[in-house]
Structure 1
């Protein structure tokens, strides 16, 4: 514990975007600084401290004035405040905000007591009332990359390589706009027989009726063999590599990594203007951004790509370069480490 300079608490057992961020960032950060996670719901390969080790946070770390407690939820901000202000632990508190809505009074109270606040996008920053920096999420470009041979990537998933595929990935629910995607495909696929569609993601119990209704719409249109519901997959990177177009139709999103995952895989994106999507997609270069909850606009934007596969390929190539230049996961990890070192009073490594 004396060598631990940063703690990434995770006080929520259920998998979420926050959990995924911790899982991706901490191994990269651990190569440069002493960092551990604390809490349930995290894989065993991450460096961890146990609850019985929490009293060790009362002592200063070796070679630094402070440790950094990096919270991403209210409950984790509260935990850091109790350690710092009640038990006088030598901690500096960082909070990352991904919310794009007005904060409650309780959240504002907690945020005002942080030593550093980070927003994940300019939109998110607009809801903050304290000084902050913007550090956007990055993507693992080693995991998400284009297929060497598209037809083989399609065939490996048991799909028909005679088709080009347009995909929509994520939880199947109204908030995610899955119905907008399905309705657009029902309208477009009869006019474009060389294309098919894939919906990848899980419908939880409360959204199962919603998924059943979508499947019924597809069946009524006679398109059950061309609009495929393939469920949830942990190897989702393989499904991105099989696509020629990705659609992010969400009605609301906090940040949203799927456009980055698609572009890193060499796939162009049609995305609703929610979350950070307008800050991720380069209009007319890597895809297009449309108004949220606008079926007509989505259908038109998708059809532009269905009619012009060469444009889709070009924008996919642009997207890969765009992500590699601006949204590498390593870049996000490095910027956070700079904050940890500055707050902790540890020396920056010499160049």
Structure 2
């Protein structure tokens, strides 16, 4: 996929021709980092870009330093247009503001906002210094101090998250028992709603002897007691072999887990966006999710899954029971979800939509 201008960023492109600078300020790998790397790997074929900061960037030639940006942006592009600086974090907004208002860089500042919480006064001030703010979901747009210039949902690498040809065989190959698998993935803690999933499984799984469950994710020392309490409840229910905590698995194994699951739950209290849901749908799993992140923008209730209120144990249990009561319908929901993501939530679309929007600002 390429932009009509057919520009390709590479180490051979002179800095003076760089049109897009992308923030990369965090030394901790996160969902924001993952999204940035996925999107820029596609955008570099659409627009000349550099990433400001070397953290986790596989090709060092694609990076640039703060001081190099400050020097490069003293003058606009050769065609007179200003460059775009794209921030995804608050400290990247700070970097952009310093570049533009202290070093007088000829740049347009864009901030992508995913957070769903009341903004601090300093964040509001920084946002007001942006030339444009993009919301990552309709829900996150409600927390901005003024309407966003654009709403642009994240996309999924659909070729990485594909449905198994036979979910039963794929699940049984993982070795967790049962004919069908359901699961919840992510850091194992209360805020992720893991206890809601486990409590629902304890109530529902005895009705469905062919279904086993997995909790996939890292368990920190601070959450070990939380997990021990859940394991004790599971043991008392006689379901130790049917509700399994896998611990943290290598990242490259996650698509295989998704593709084998018939149902994925995402029950967080809050999320910035929540890629778990579209990734699960891309892999052909039905989804049960809370009113967090962008999930209400993605899930079509009764078609590819269900949405429940946050922290609502009864709703989670009832919907899990409903979903597991008809495995054929559950499989159809998974197929519908895959088609929905392929049509509407590809990472290629996210990358292209951003570049097209950046062009309107120049």
Interval containing the TM-score (normalised by the shorter chain): over 0.9
CA distance in 2, matches of 1:219, 1:23: 42
CA distance in 2, matches of 1:194, 1:220: 20
- CA offsets, 1:158-179, max 9 Å, x none? 333x420011011101100001
Q: Which of 282, 291, 295 is the aligned partner of 2:309?
A: 291
The residue number in structure 1 matching 2:233 is 217
Q: Which of 36, 44, 54 is the aligned partner of 1:22?
A: 36
- CA offsets, 1:165-222, max 9 Å, x none? 0110111011000011111111111221110001111122322222222222222222
Q: Which of 143, 151, 175 is the aligned partner of 2:160?
A: 143
CA distance in 1, matches of 2:66, 2:93: 17
The residue number in structure 1 matching 2:55 is 41
List aligned pairs for 1:273-284, cutoff 5 A.
273-284=291-302
- Aligned with 1:197: secondary structure? strand
- Once the two structures are TM-superposed, the CA of residue 254 in structure 1 deviates from its matched residue by 1.8
The residue number in structure 2 matching 1:31 is 45
CA distance in 2, matches of 1:129, 1:219: 48
- Once the two structures are TM-superposed, the CA of residue 31 in structure 1 deviates from its matched residue by 1.1
Taking a change above 3 Å as real, the CA distance of residues 43 and 223 of structure 1, as seen in their structure-2 partners, is farther
The residue number in structure 1 matching 2:6 is none
CA distance in 2, matches of 1:155, 1:267: 16
- CA offsets, 1:300-334, max 9 Å, x none? 10111111001101111110111111111111111
CA distance in 2, matches of 1:157, 1:48: 39
- Aligned with 2:261: secondary structure? coil
CA distance in 2, matches of 1:168, 1:150: 17
Q: Which of 134, 153, 157 is the aligned partner of 2:151?
A: 134
CA distance in 2, matches of 1:86, 1:43: 27
The residue number in structure 1 matching 2:3 is none
Structure 1: runs of 5 or more not aligned: 345-351
User: Does structure 2 conserve the Cα–Cα contact (< 8 Å) formed by 1:121 and 1:279?
Assistant: yes
The residue number in structure 2 matching 1:159 is 176
Taking a change above 3 Å as real, the CA distance of residues 156 and 67 of structure 1, as seen in their structure-2 partners, is farther
The residue number in structure 2 matching 1:307 is 325
List aligned pairs for 1:120-131, cutoff 5 A.
120-131=136-147
Structure 2: runs of 5 or more not aligned: 1-14
Mean CA deviation greater in 44-53 or 265-274:
44-53
User: Does structure 1 conserve the Cα–Cα contact (< 8 Å) formed by 2:167 and 2:180?
Assistant: no
CA distance in 2, matches of 1:64, 1:228: 60
CA distance in 2, matches of 1:307, 1:326: 29
User: Does structure 2 conserve the Cα–Cα contact (< 8 Å) formed by 1:112 and 1:130?
Assistant: no
In the alignment of these two chains, the number of paired residues is 343
- Aligned with 2:86: secondary structure? strand
CA distance in 1, matches of 2:126, 2:255: 37
- Aligned with 1:58: secondary structure? coil
The residue number in structure 1 matching 2:11 is none
User: Does structure 1 conserve the Cα–Cα contact (< 8 Å) formed by 2:112 and 2:134?
Assistant: yes
User: Does structure 1 conserve the Cα–Cα contact (< 8 Å) formed by 2:184 and 2:194?
Assistant: yes
The residue number in structure 2 matching 1:347 is none
User: Does structure 1 conserve the Cα–Cα contact (< 8 Å) formed by 2:141 and 2:147?
Assistant: no
CA distance in 1, matches of 2:63, 2:215: 36
List aligned pairs for 1:218-257, cutoff 5 A.
218-233=234-249, 234-235=251-252, 236-257=254-275
- Once the two structures are TM-superposed, the CA of residue 68 in structure 1 deviates from its matched residue by 0.7
- Once the two structures are TM-superposed, the CA of residue 63 in structure 1 deviates from its matched residue by 3.9
User: Does structure 1 conserve the Cα–Cα contact (< 8 Å) formed by 2:265 and 2:289?
Assistant: yes
CA distance in 2, matches of 1:269, 1:259: 7
CA distance in 2, matches of 1:181, 1:105: 36
> Given the alignment of the two structures, is residue 180 of structure 1 paired with residue 196 of structure 2, yes or no?
yes
The residue number in structure 1 matching 2:223 is 207
- Aligned with 1:68: secondary structure? strand
